[in-house]
Amino acid sequence: MRKTRLIQVGMGPIGIQTAKMAYMRDDIDLVGGIDVNPEIVGKDIGLLFGNAVIGKNVESDIKKACKKWDPDVAVLTTVSQVSKLELVAIELLNSGLHVVSSSEELLVPKLRTPEIAKNLDRTAKKNGVTMVAAGVNPGFTMDLLPLFVTTLCIEVNKISVYRCLDASFRRGSLQKKVGAGLTVEDFRRGEREGWIGHKGLQESIRLLAQGLEWKDIEISETLNPIIAEHDFETDFFEIKKGSVAGVHHVGHGKKDDQVLIEHDLKMSVGAEESFDLVQILGTPDLELKFKGGIPGDIATSATLLNTVSRAIEASPGLLTPLDLSLLRGVGRVL
Protein backbone atom coordinates (compact mmCIF):
# COMPACT_ATOMS: atom_id res chain seq x y z
CA MET A 1 0.00 0.00 0.00
CA ARG A 2 1.30 3.44 -0.95
CA LYS A 3 2.31 5.60 1.98
CA THR A 4 0.83 9.07 2.39
CA ARG A 5 3.47 11.65 1.50
CA LEU A 6 3.47 14.33 4.21
CA ILE A 7 5.14 17.66 4.76
CA GLN A 8 5.32 19.30 8.17
CA VAL A 9 4.66 23.05 7.97
CA GLY A 10 5.90 24.87 11.08
CA MET A 11 8.91 23.45 12.89
CA GLY A 12 8.29 24.66 16.42
CA PRO A 13 8.18 22.19 19.34
CA ILE A 14 4.87 20.61 18.28
CA GLY A 15 5.90 20.58 14.62
CA ILE A 16 9.19 18.88 15.36
CA GLN A 17 7.48 16.31 17.56
CA THR A 18 4.84 15.67 14.90
CA ALA A 19 7.54 15.24 12.24
CA LYS A 20 9.32 12.73 14.46
CA MET A 21 6.14 10.74 15.02
CA ALA A 22 5.32 10.87 11.29
CA TYR A 23 8.79 9.57 10.43
CA MET A 24 8.25 6.60 12.75
CA ARG A 25 4.91 5.58 11.25
CA ASP A 26 4.51 2.82 8.68
CA ASP A 27 1.64 4.50 6.83
CA ILE A 28 3.28 7.91 6.34
CA ASP A 29 6.29 9.05 4.32
CA LEU A 30 7.67 12.26 5.82
CA VAL A 31 9.12 14.01 2.77
CA GLY A 32 10.23 17.32 4.33
CA GLY A 33 9.50 20.31 6.50
CA ILE A 34 8.61 23.96 5.90
CA ASP A 35 9.64 26.89 8.11
CA VAL A 36 10.76 30.50 7.67
CA ASN A 37 13.30 30.45 10.50
CA PRO A 38 16.69 30.98 8.78
CA GLU A 39 18.44 29.11 11.59
CA ILE A 40 16.83 25.80 10.60
CA VAL A 41 16.15 26.22 6.86
CA GLY A 42 18.33 23.73 5.01
CA LYS A 43 18.86 21.54 8.06
CA ASP A 44 18.07 17.85 8.16
CA ILE A 45 14.87 17.25 10.14
CA GLY A 46 16.48 14.31 11.90
CA LEU A 47 18.92 16.70 13.55
CA LEU A 48 15.99 18.71 14.92
CA PHE A 49 14.26 15.81 16.66
CA GLY A 50 17.31 13.63 17.28
CA ASN A 51 20.94 13.22 16.33
CA ALA A 52 20.60 11.29 13.08
CA VAL A 53 20.56 12.48 9.47
CA ILE A 54 17.44 11.08 7.76
CA GLY A 55 17.73 12.82 4.40
CA LYS A 56 14.63 15.01 4.92
CA ASN A 57 15.33 18.75 4.96
CA VAL A 58 13.59 21.95 6.00
CA GLU A 59 12.75 24.38 3.18
CA SER A 60 11.20 27.85 3.23
CA ASP A 61 9.47 28.05 -0.17
CA ILE A 62 6.23 26.06 -0.25
CA LYS A 63 5.78 26.04 -4.05
CA LYS A 64 9.33 24.87 -4.74
CA ALA A 65 9.16 22.29 -1.99
CA CYS A 66 5.86 20.89 -3.27
CA LYS A 67 7.24 20.56 -6.80
CA LYS A 68 10.32 18.76 -5.48
CA TRP A 69 8.63 16.48 -2.94
CA ASP A 70 5.16 15.89 -4.50
CA PRO A 71 3.39 15.59 -1.13
CA ASP A 72 -0.22 14.53 -0.57
CA VAL A 73 -0.92 16.34 2.69
CA ALA A 74 0.46 19.09 4.91
CA VAL A 75 0.28 19.19 8.69
CA LEU A 76 0.16 22.88 9.58
CA THR A 77 1.27 23.82 13.11
CA THR A 78 2.03 27.53 13.04
CA VAL A 79 -0.51 29.89 14.65
CA SER A 80 -3.85 29.74 16.45
CA GLN A 81 -5.62 32.46 14.47
CA VAL A 82 -7.25 31.62 11.15
CA SER A 83 -6.60 35.17 9.91
CA LYS A 84 -2.85 34.66 10.33
CA LEU A 85 -2.68 31.30 8.57
CA GLU A 86 -4.95 32.12 5.64
CA LEU A 87 -2.24 32.94 3.10
CA VAL A 88 -0.14 29.87 3.88
CA ALA A 89 -3.24 27.67 3.85
CA ILE A 90 -4.33 29.04 0.47
CA GLU A 91 -0.87 28.32 -0.95
CA LEU A 92 -0.96 24.75 0.35
CA LEU A 93 -4.47 24.14 -0.96
CA ASN A 94 -3.61 25.60 -4.36
CA SER A 95 -0.65 23.22 -4.46
CA GLY A 96 -3.15 20.37 -4.30
CA LEU A 97 -2.51 19.37 -0.69
CA HIS A 98 -4.95 18.27 1.94
CA VAL A 99 -4.30 20.32 5.10
CA VAL A 100 -4.61 19.20 8.72
CA SER A 101 -3.97 22.08 11.13
CA SER A 102 -3.53 22.54 14.87
CA SER A 103 -5.09 26.03 14.66
CA GLU A 104 -7.57 26.28 17.53
CA GLU A 105 -9.80 28.75 15.71
CA LEU A 106 -9.98 26.49 12.66
CA LEU A 107 -11.95 23.90 14.66
CA VAL A 108 -15.11 25.93 13.97
CA PRO A 109 -13.80 28.47 11.43
CA LYS A 110 -17.14 30.22 10.85
CA LEU A 111 -17.28 31.27 14.52
CA ARG A 112 -14.69 34.07 14.31
CA THR A 113 -13.75 34.45 10.64
CA PRO A 114 -16.74 33.57 8.44
CA GLU A 115 -15.44 35.33 5.30
CA ILE A 116 -12.02 33.68 5.51
CA ALA A 117 -13.77 30.36 6.10
CA LYS A 118 -15.72 30.83 2.87
CA ASN A 119 -12.51 31.58 0.97
CA LEU A 120 -10.74 28.52 2.36
CA ASP A 121 -13.74 26.34 1.58
CA ARG A 122 -13.92 27.61 -2.03
CA THR A 123 -10.20 27.09 -2.52
CA ALA A 124 -10.24 23.58 -1.10
CA LYS A 125 -13.21 22.54 -3.24
CA LYS A 126 -11.64 24.08 -6.36
CA ASN A 127 -8.56 21.94 -5.85
CA GLY A 128 -10.42 18.80 -4.77
CA VAL A 129 -8.82 18.68 -1.31
CA THR A 130 -9.85 19.06 2.32
CA MET A 131 -8.79 21.28 5.20
CA VAL A 132 -9.62 20.47 8.80
CA ALA A 133 -8.41 21.21 12.33
CA ALA A 134 -7.25 18.58 14.79
CA GLY A 135 -5.70 18.55 18.24
CA VAL A 136 -6.15 17.41 21.79
CA ASN A 137 -7.80 20.56 23.18
CA PRO A 138 -9.65 21.78 21.30
CA GLY A 139 -10.26 18.85 18.99
CA PHE A 140 -10.79 16.01 21.45
CA THR A 141 -10.78 16.38 25.24
CA MET A 142 -13.49 19.00 25.68
CA ASP A 143 -15.53 18.36 22.53
CA LEU A 144 -15.20 15.12 20.54
CA LEU A 145 -14.59 12.97 23.64
CA PRO A 146 -17.73 14.02 25.55
CA LEU A 147 -19.71 13.94 22.31
CA PHE A 148 -18.64 10.34 21.69
CA VAL A 149 -19.54 9.35 25.26
CA THR A 150 -23.11 10.61 24.70
CA THR A 151 -23.54 7.66 22.32
CA LEU A 152 -24.49 5.73 25.46
CA CYS A 153 -27.32 8.12 26.39
CA ILE A 154 -30.98 8.08 25.44
CA GLU A 155 -31.05 11.81 26.12
CA VAL A 156 -28.54 14.45 27.20
CA ASN A 157 -29.46 17.40 29.43
CA LYS A 158 -26.06 18.85 30.33
CA ILE A 159 -22.37 18.20 29.71
CA SER A 160 -19.60 19.32 32.06
CA VAL A 161 -15.91 18.90 31.28
CA TYR A 162 -13.22 19.57 33.87
CA ARG A 163 -9.56 19.67 32.89
CA CYS A 164 -6.82 20.24 35.47
CA LEU A 165 -3.20 20.33 34.34
CA ASP A 166 0.06 20.66 36.26
CA ALA A 167 2.13 22.78 33.90
CA SER A 168 5.37 22.28 35.84
CA PHE A 169 6.83 19.77 33.40
CA ARG A 170 5.32 21.07 30.18
CA ARG A 171 7.10 23.07 27.49
CA GLY A 172 8.13 26.66 28.20
CA SER A 173 5.67 28.15 25.71
CA LEU A 174 2.75 26.60 27.59
CA GLN A 175 4.06 27.83 30.95
CA LYS A 176 4.30 31.31 29.47
CA LYS A 177 0.74 31.01 28.13
CA VAL A 178 -0.61 30.27 31.60
CA GLY A 179 1.22 33.31 33.02
CA ALA A 180 3.73 31.51 35.23
CA GLY A 181 5.58 34.00 37.44
CA LEU A 182 3.66 37.10 36.32
CA THR A 183 2.05 39.69 38.51
CA VAL A 184 -1.73 39.87 38.33
CA GLU A 185 -1.37 43.20 36.51
CA ASP A 186 0.87 41.67 33.85
CA PHE A 187 -1.50 38.69 33.61
CA ARG A 188 -4.40 41.01 32.81
CA ARG A 189 -2.26 42.84 30.26
CA GLY A 190 -1.47 39.51 28.60
CA GLU A 191 -5.16 38.69 28.60
CA ARG A 192 -5.98 41.96 26.82
CA GLU A 193 -3.17 41.41 24.29
CA GLY A 194 -4.31 37.84 23.66
CA TRP A 195 -1.24 35.82 24.65
CA ILE A 196 -2.47 34.62 28.05
CA GLY A 197 -4.86 31.71 28.45
CA HIS A 198 -6.15 28.72 26.57
CA LYS A 199 -7.25 29.18 22.97
CA GLY A 200 -10.30 27.41 21.63
CA LEU A 201 -12.69 27.13 24.56
CA GLN A 202 -15.49 28.80 22.59
CA GLU A 203 -14.74 26.54 19.63
CA SER A 204 -15.03 23.43 21.82
CA ILE A 205 -18.39 24.56 23.19
CA ARG A 206 -19.68 25.40 19.70
CA LEU A 207 -18.53 22.08 18.20
CA LEU A 208 -20.08 20.13 21.06
CA ALA A 209 -23.35 22.03 20.68
CA GLN A 210 -23.36 21.40 16.92
CA GLY A 211 -22.76 17.70 17.50
CA LEU A 212 -25.74 17.51 19.86
CA GLU A 213 -27.85 19.74 17.58
CA TRP A 214 -28.31 22.35 20.32
CA LYS A 215 -29.03 25.48 18.31
CA ASP A 216 -28.85 29.17 19.26
CA ILE A 217 -26.42 28.54 22.08
CA GLU A 218 -25.14 31.63 23.90
CA ILE A 219 -21.46 31.28 24.80
CA SER A 220 -19.69 33.10 27.61
CA GLU A 221 -16.25 32.70 29.16
CA THR A 222 -14.15 34.07 32.02
CA LEU A 223 -10.40 33.99 32.59
CA ASN A 224 -8.76 34.46 35.99
CA PRO A 225 -5.29 33.92 37.45
CA ILE A 226 -4.43 31.11 39.84
CA ILE A 227 -2.19 32.54 42.57
CA ALA A 228 0.81 30.56 43.82
CA GLU A 229 0.57 29.52 47.48
CA HIS A 230 4.22 28.46 47.55
CA ASP A 231 7.45 29.22 45.70
CA PHE A 232 8.03 27.07 42.61
CA GLU A 233 10.80 26.78 40.08
CA THR A 234 10.61 25.10 36.68
CA ASP A 235 13.16 24.74 33.88
CA PHE A 236 11.79 27.99 32.44
CA PHE A 237 10.30 30.18 35.17
CA GLU A 238 10.60 31.11 38.82
CA ILE A 239 7.25 31.51 40.54
CA LYS A 240 7.12 33.30 43.86
CA LYS A 241 4.36 32.92 46.42
CA GLY A 242 1.67 35.48 45.61
CA SER A 243 2.51 35.69 41.90
CA VAL A 244 0.59 33.96 39.11
CA ALA A 245 0.93 30.19 38.91
CA GLY A 246 -1.57 29.61 36.11
CA VAL A 247 -5.00 30.24 34.63
CA HIS A 248 -8.56 29.26 35.46
CA HIS A 249 -10.62 29.41 32.28
CA VAL A 250 -14.37 28.77 32.44
CA GLY A 251 -16.85 28.67 29.57
CA HIS A 252 -20.59 28.13 29.41
CA GLY A 253 -23.03 27.32 26.66
CA LYS A 254 -26.54 28.48 27.58
CA LYS A 255 -29.98 28.41 26.03
CA ASP A 256 -32.82 30.36 27.65
CA ASP A 257 -30.63 30.93 30.74
CA GLN A 258 -30.11 27.18 31.17
CA VAL A 259 -26.50 25.99 31.23
CA LEU A 260 -26.22 23.07 28.81
CA ILE A 261 -22.43 22.98 28.50
CA GLU A 262 -19.88 23.80 31.19
CA HIS A 263 -16.13 23.79 30.54
CA ASP A 264 -13.75 24.32 33.46
CA LEU A 265 -10.03 24.41 32.67
CA LYS A 266 -7.23 24.93 35.17
CA MET A 267 -3.60 24.99 34.01
CA SER A 268 -1.03 25.93 36.63
CA VAL A 269 2.45 25.24 37.89
CA GLY A 270 2.28 23.07 41.00
CA ALA A 271 -1.30 21.81 40.62
CA GLU A 272 -1.89 19.00 43.12
CA GLU A 273 -3.56 16.71 40.59
CA SER A 274 -3.80 16.43 36.82
CA PHE A 275 -6.98 14.93 35.41
CA ASP A 276 -9.61 15.15 32.71
CA LEU A 277 -13.20 14.56 33.78
CA VAL A 278 -16.35 14.31 31.67
CA GLN A 279 -19.73 14.38 33.39
CA ILE A 280 -22.98 13.88 31.51
CA LEU A 281 -26.37 14.61 33.03
CA GLY A 282 -28.94 12.62 31.12
CA THR A 283 -30.40 9.16 30.74
CA PRO A 284 -28.27 7.60 32.08
CA ASP A 285 -25.90 9.93 33.97
CA LEU A 286 -22.29 9.16 33.06
CA GLU A 287 -18.82 10.06 34.33
CA LEU A 288 -15.44 9.39 32.73
CA LYS A 289 -12.11 10.37 34.31
CA PHE A 290 -8.55 10.22 32.98
CA LYS A 291 -6.33 10.03 36.05
CA GLY A 292 -3.12 11.95 35.47
CA GLY A 293 -4.74 13.79 32.58
CA ILE A 294 -4.42 13.31 28.84
CA PRO A 295 -0.77 13.93 27.81
CA GLY A 296 -1.31 17.08 25.79
CA ASP A 297 1.79 17.41 23.57
CA ILE A 298 1.99 13.77 22.48
CA ALA A 299 -1.78 13.59 22.07
CA THR A 300 -1.76 16.73 19.90
CA SER A 301 0.72 15.22 17.46
CA ALA A 302 -1.13 11.90 17.52
CA THR A 303 -4.49 13.45 16.70
CA LEU A 304 -2.97 15.48 13.87
CA LEU A 305 -1.47 12.39 12.27
CA ASN A 306 -4.48 10.17 12.94
CA THR A 307 -6.66 12.77 11.21
CA VAL A 308 -4.63 12.63 7.98
CA SER A 309 -6.22 9.51 6.47
CA ARG A 310 -9.71 10.62 7.51
CA ALA A 311 -9.18 14.03 5.88
CA ILE A 312 -7.97 12.45 2.64
CA GLU A 313 -11.01 10.18 2.37
CA ALA A 314 -13.51 12.99 3.14
CA SER A 315 -15.34 15.18 0.64
CA PRO A 316 -13.43 18.31 -0.49
CA GLY A 317 -13.84 21.58 1.36
CA LEU A 318 -13.17 23.25 4.69
CA LEU A 319 -14.47 20.75 7.22
CA THR A 320 -14.87 20.32 10.96
CA PRO A 321 -14.05 17.08 12.81
CA LEU A 322 -17.78 16.31 12.76
CA ASP A 323 -17.50 15.83 8.98
CA LEU A 324 -14.92 13.04 9.33
CA SER A 325 -15.33 9.36 10.04
CA LEU A 326 -14.42 8.23 13.56
CA LEU A 327 -10.80 8.98 14.41
CA ARG A 328 -8.65 6.16 15.75
CA GLY A 329 -5.03 5.23 16.25
CA VAL A 330 -2.86 2.91 14.20
CA GLY A 331 -2.33 -0.57 15.60
CA ARG A 332 1.18 -1.97 15.77
CA VAL A 333 2.24 -5.47 16.84
CA LEU A 334 5.25 -5.31 19.14
Task: State in Å, rounded, how far the first CA of the chain is from the last one.
Answer: 21
Give residue-wise pLDDT tens across range 182-218: 899 999 999 999 889 888 999 999 999 999 999 999 9
pTM score: 0.91
Positive or negative CA dihedral for 65, 66, 69, 71? positive
| Selection from 85, 161, 97, 147 nearest residue 124 by Cα | 97
% of the chain beyond a pLDDT of 70: 99
Banded pLDDT at 230 (limits 50, 70, 90): confident
pLDDT in tens, 153-183: 999 999 999 999 888 877 777 788 888 888 9
What is each CA distance from 104 to 18, 77, 188, 304, in whole angstroms?
17, 10, 21, 12
Asked if 204 and 106 touch (Cβ cutoff 8 Å), the reply is no
Looking at the chain, how many residues does it have? 334
In the prediction, which pLDDT does 334 show?
A: 61
